[in-house]
Amino acid sequence: MRKFRSIIFLILFSMFLVGCQTTDQTNDVTGTVDITISENQQEETIAEAEIELSDETNLLELLKDHFDVVVQKDGFITSIEGKEQVPEDDIYWMYTINGKSANVGAAEYEVSDGDEINFDLQKVSY
């Protein structure tokens, strides 16, 4: 009976140790993304970059690392490459990912290999 308890103890202790181990679950992102900065419905290109990805990052951090970007505290982009929004004229920075309108803020979007991202300073119609 004592041997049986020892075996049970060893099994439970082993399970405890396995459960306490930390795992490194970083999802390294590799590849490239293309970012274009434009205005007036992409009539004029302001800047372009093919950016090599080396680790997991969100779009806002990627922008900050490669372009001159002004961001409000809440993560709202107000200027890219010196081109500012004009709220009183309903001119804002909008962006698309792979040709589709983004449905999250740049700080929430996790870039993926092959993404084609366009930030465009444009008049927004309501």
pTM above 0.85, yes or no: no
88-116: string of b/e by CB count within 10 Å (b at 16+)? Answer: eeebbbbbebeeeebeeebeebebeeebe
Name the residue type at position 21: Q
32-91 tens-digit pLDDT = 999 999 999 999 999 999 999 987 679 999 999 999 999 998 889 999 999 999 999 999
Q: Is residue 20 part of a domain?
A: no
Q: How confident is the model at residue 12 (pLDDT cuts 50, 70, 90)?
A: very low
What's the N-to-C CA distance of the chain in angstroms?
78
Residue 23 DSSP SS3: coil
Q: Is residue 58 part of a domain?
A: yes
Q: Is residue 98 part of a domain?
A: yes
pLDDT of 13 > 50? The answer is no
Q: Is residue 62 part of a domain?
A: yes
User: Where residue 48 sits, what CATH number does that domain have?
Assistant: 2.170.130.30
In the chain, the percentage of residues whose pLDDT exceeds 90 is 67
Enclosing domain of residue 76: 31-123
Per-residue pLDDT, 79: 97
Q: Residue 121: how many CB atoms within 10 A of its CB?
A: 22
Domain count, the chain: 1
